Amino acid sequence: MKDVRVRFAPSPTGYLHIGGLRTAVYNYLYARQHDGKFLLRIEDTDRTRFVEGAIENLIRSLNWSGIEIDEGVVLRDGEVAQVGDKGPYIQSERLEIYRKYVDQLIESGHAYHCFCSKERLDALREEQKIKGQVPRYDGLCRSISPEEAQKRIDAGEEYVIRLKLPHDRDISFEDEARGTITINTNEMDDQVLMKSDGFPTYHLAVVVDDHLMDITHVIRGEEWLPSTPKHVYLYEAFGWEPPTYIHLPGVLNKDHKKLSKRQGDVSVEDFRGHGYLPEGLVNYLALVGWSPEDNQEIFSMDELIEAFDTSRIARTGGVFDVKKLDWVNSHYMKELSREELLEMALPYLAEAGLLTEEEAKKDPERYLILMDTIQEGLDRLEQVPEACDFLYGEYKVEEEAALEQLKSESAPAVVDALKEILEGMDEITFEDAQGLMKKVQKASGVKGKNLYMPARAAMTGNVHGPELSNIIYLLGKDEILDRLEKAKAYM
């Protein structure tokens, strides 16, 4: 059996789509599970869609996600580079290779020159639509002899090169996730292989590249399923062995339609910006279209590599559920050390104007305790500023339950005892904060819910939230005294 070699081959049209990342993840899991190689190839033959900087963004997104590129296009010192002995790995650098192989197809009678104008093709499609037929090329140029074709080329006529499919023939292939798939050539088109600008179409380039790069398994989106018989026929025309195909279901929105930018965030950069962790995003994406044998939902990358099974890939699209992503990501948020959380949270706190790196360095223990205080309730990093609202936000009591607590019978005694004890203290240490409520209980004679709920409402304006002793320490003596004074207006 050949060594497993898979490839992820995106087009550099912008940022990496979340569906593209899932394709990369499945390729990577398959490669690692079989001790194989993961290649990154850039398919940039459609120059009209090329976006400057897109290759760099693609690689950074893969690196951030924990996907290691064994061969192909990589970043070295921030610059695009290529590693491996089967390059170039950027299609626009392989034009001479494609020209050689398309000439071979013409010589063997498996391809032909087509001189039809865009106007004729548009009119043909329109006529076929009116008649209720599937729009496809009618084969007008199939009968042109090589000699006549050469004369027309020499005369300067523009042309493309098309695949010459046999008439009325079933083409079958095995899909590892879907079983046997058969399509008759009468339902297919004589696909353009080489455009008039000398650039290959996807259909020629993908077959030539996958063969020359020794790709053993093609794991790609189901949108390529109708094209696969053409690719299988091209392998036959060249006399090559085709790879194993595995087509993946689409990533859908909640309306069960293709996930697109019109409905919101779709790029890896978007989700990274919201503060999702790579472990959380990859773990969740792996479950959108694939299910493990048991009901396990939290997987490390190593566990995914061990559990991944192509026979359990779904045949229907998987719905991308942000709430489920939040739930998975929250697991990884809780696993961060407080030091890691503070480092990751600082850019969000700085952007909100709450805390700079310099300020955090002046009193690291205080801000590490702040991370301890908010960590349990976080799904993603962008929530950190809001979670710190009890500390930085303007004091106000709007919550109905908090207003009720401040009007409760025990509230005046609790607030007065708190005020008196604090006024007799210097600045509050963490140890002071941990013992403060016991002192308030003793001084006020109030205990349990009747003690803690009014105290929390008076200090934070809410009845639920993080550990109260942490809040007392973080707010500090002067801020709490100021809030207790304001709380009296609601009592």
Which of 33-42, 271-280, 429-438 has the least mean pLDDT? 429-438
> What does the mean pLDDT of the chain come to?
94
CA pair distance 382, 276, nearest whole angstrom: 8
- Could you list the residues known to form a binding site, using ranges: 261
The count of C-alpha atoms lying within 13 angstroms of the C-alpha of 263, restricted to the half-sphere facing its C-beta, is 13
| pLDDT for position 264 | 65
Give per-residue burial for 13-49: e unless 16+ CB within 10 Å, then b: ebbbbbbbbbbbbbbbbbbbbbebbbbbbbbbbbeee
Share above pLDDT 90 across residues of the chain, in percent, rounded to a whole number: 86
Mean pLDDT calculated for residue range 19-40: 97
Say yes or no to pLDDT of 330 above 90: yes
Interval 22-28 mean pLDDT = 98
Residue numbers belonging to the annotated binding site for ATP: 261
Residue 168 has pLDDT above 80, yes or no: yes
- Average the pLDDT over 208-228 and give the result: 96
Instruction: 143-146: list long-range contacts, CB under 8 Å, 24+ apart.
Output: 144/112, 144/113, 144/115, 146/106
Q: What is the pTM of this model?
A: 0.92
The percent of residues in the chain predicted with pLDDT above 70, rounded, is 99
- What pLDDT does residue 1 have? 66
Does the pLDDT of residue 258 top 90, yes or no?
no
Residues in CB range of 314: below 8 A, 6 or more apart = 249, 289, 290, 291
- Please give the average per-residue pLDDT across 230-249, as a whole number: 97
Beta-carbon contacts of residue 99 (< 8 Å; ≥ 6 apart):
194, 198
Please tell me the predicted confidence (pLDDT) of residue 236.
97
What is the reported pLDDT for 246? Answer: 97
Amino acid type, 284: Y
Question: Once rounded to an integer, what is the mean pLDDT over residues 370-391?
Answer: 95
pLDDT of residue 253: 85
- Is residue 77 within 8 Å of 87, Cβ to Cβ? no
d(CA 412, CA 39): 69
Specify the DSSP class assigned to residue 356. Answer: -
* Average pLDDT score over residue span 80-90: 97
Residue 378 pLDDT > 70: yes
pLDDT reported for residue 221: 94
Q: How far apart (Å, rounded) are the C-alpha atoms in residues 464 and 402?
A: 9
Is residue 399 helix, strand or coil? Answer: coil
Active centre residues (catalytic): 261
| The pLDDT of residue 262 | 61
CB atoms closer than 10 angstroms to residue 51: 13
Instruction: Return the pLDDT at 472.
Output: 95
The tokens describing 61, both together, are: 């997104």
Could you read off the pLDDT of 99-158 as tens digits, one per residue? 999 999 999 999 999 999 999 999 999 999 999 988 899 999 999 999 999 999 999 999
Q: What is the mean pLDDT of residues 65-83?
A: 96
Please report, for residues 279, 353, 387, 462, the alpha-carbon distance to residue 360 in angstroms, rounded to integers and kept in the order given.
Answer: 26, 13, 17, 26
Question: Which residue type sits at 149?
Answer: A
Length of the chain: 491
Predicted confidence band of residue 266 (pLDDT cuts 50, 70, 90)? confident
Beta carbons of 5 and 214 less than 8 angstroms apart: yes
Helices 468-487 and 364-374 pack at an angle, to 10 degrees, of: 90
